[in-house]
Structure 1
């Protein structure tokens, strides 16, 4: 019996135009009737995800910042941040790389020293809560990670190979999207966050469905008997899941849920 459904956002529940899959909101009350919890798991910040769901935000739980921050019905359930030494090491490593722009991510906002980055992420497409600052050093309150966007054209995976050896042992690096990477604390990821909620809600992996498309979703797959990689995921990610769903542009998450639950 399925009791928990967890979905990534970008490239999974959202299409390439950053729109929620058609029919999704019609599913939420039907899931609630059956006692099934729906959780969003994203590398993005909570305010951005809250905007995506608007008046439906109370109908879902949110795993934000790649598992470092969990919120349900406006209540903070879990948070784990990075300390100043870890943040400085990440910022130093990113500064040594050409054509890479860092973003300091906290619970309820993100910090950048780039006007272009500020305008990009604050725009309606992403609707991030942003702060423009002179320097990212010295900002430590509620910070979860250092994200980065690479503009060199070499790709996120090539950037990963260069940056990962420069980070301290207690900090991890993961590809979170096209040209996007996220640092984070070792052991803090979406899979660990799903495990936290399963324990809290007394739900087993056999009662769990997860959907994802990127490397930062892979740890979730081991927490669910029904693990789905999207058709648009890279082969390395698809191989980690038990099943492959259709494309994010075809509303595959909604289709699979309807099939599984006969809705």
Structure 2
């Protein structure tokens, strides 16, 4: 583990606790990572501007792989952008309008776009999107690059909306990214692709990479590092992919492993 050069972690359900808060113990460990020359990547389905706010104290030192890896930025420099065809997004919107309990979101590079101002939906939206606009008709949004299409599914994404889009998995990324979230992106847009771009850019190997995740949008990323950790609270299918298990997000599992890393101690929790 002393050879680790790159650490990437999901945010919600992983680095952040169930209240979507960052542990006070994270920053001291982060400083030690930086002192040891280890690159840190925040890889999330969240919007880039939301991630900047969440990690404000270290925003100039973190690489952001936002919108499930479709938008990778470091120190305001775009490293990787994988947008979607706008007509494809419009087709997804039309389908969403026939699915009860859902609210559609176009995740643009400039901001997110939604049609509904329903308070419960907006409360969920604000957790992950710092910049958004309520528009009359999502089908008329044009002046932006579309990084991702998202459904907030208050009826449960895995059982309610996912079956309506599952057949598109051969041509698009269709991911249940949380209990009420379904994310659809370009086929080449995922956290694993973002990791490949960063590994090539910084000359980091599979064996020198550590990753953390908890849900299906973390799957490809977990396959890009030898030190792959699923959280104790992760979906069971994700646990089956990871090589190691970390304590839950509410037990500060990521920071515990990173503390081990900076102390150069080999972990004992391989599956």
1:169 offset after TM fit, Å?
4.6
Partner of 1:223: 224
1:88 to 83, 90, 106: 90
User: Partners of 1:30 and 1:261 in 2: how far apart?
Assistant: 6
CA RMSD of aligned residues (A): 1.7
* C-alpha distance in structure 2 between counterparts of 1:236 and 1:160, whole Å: 19
Equivalent positions of 1:1-263 (< 5 A) are: 1-116=3-118, 119-121=122-124, 123=126, 125-126=127-128, 128-140=130-142, 141-152=144-155, 155-165=156-166, 167=168, 169-262=170-263
Q: How far apart, CA to CA, are the structure 1 residues paired with 2:258 and 2:169?
A: 40
Q: Per-residue deviation at 1:78? A: 1.1
Question: Residue 160 of structure 1 contacts residue 173 of structure 1 at CA under 8 Å; is this kept in 2?
Answer: no
CA distance in 2, matches of 1:165, 1:10: 23
**Equivalent pair of 2:173/2:190 in contact (CA under 8 Å):** no
SS of aligned partner of 2:140: coil
2:232 aligns to what SS in structure 1?
coil
Could you tell me which runs of 5 or more consecutive residues in structure 1 were left unpaired when the two chains were aligned: none
Give the structure-1-normalised TM-score: 0.93
Number of residue equivalences: 260
Distance 1:26 1:165 in 2: 42
- Deviation (angstroms), 1:170: 2.4
d(CA) in 2 for partners of 1:122, 1:176 = 14
Shift of 1:95: 1.5
Deviation larger for 205-214 or 22-31? 22-31
Separation in structure 1 between the aligned mates of residue 85 and residue 159 of structure 2, nearest angstrom: 27
**What is the CA distance between 1:8 and its match in structure 2?**
0.2
Q: Does the CA-based 8 Å contact 2:32-2:262 persist in structure 1? A: no
Q: CA deviation at 1:75?
A: 1.1
Q: Which runs of 4+ in 1 moved over 4 A?
A: none
TM superposition shift of 1:42? 0.3
Matched residue SS, 2:151: strand
Determine if contact 2:153/2:161 at 8 Å carries over to the other structure. Answer: no
Deviation, structure 1 residue 165: 4.2
Report deviation, 1:151: 2.1
- Contact 1:7 1:13 (C-alpha < 8 Å) held by counterparts: yes
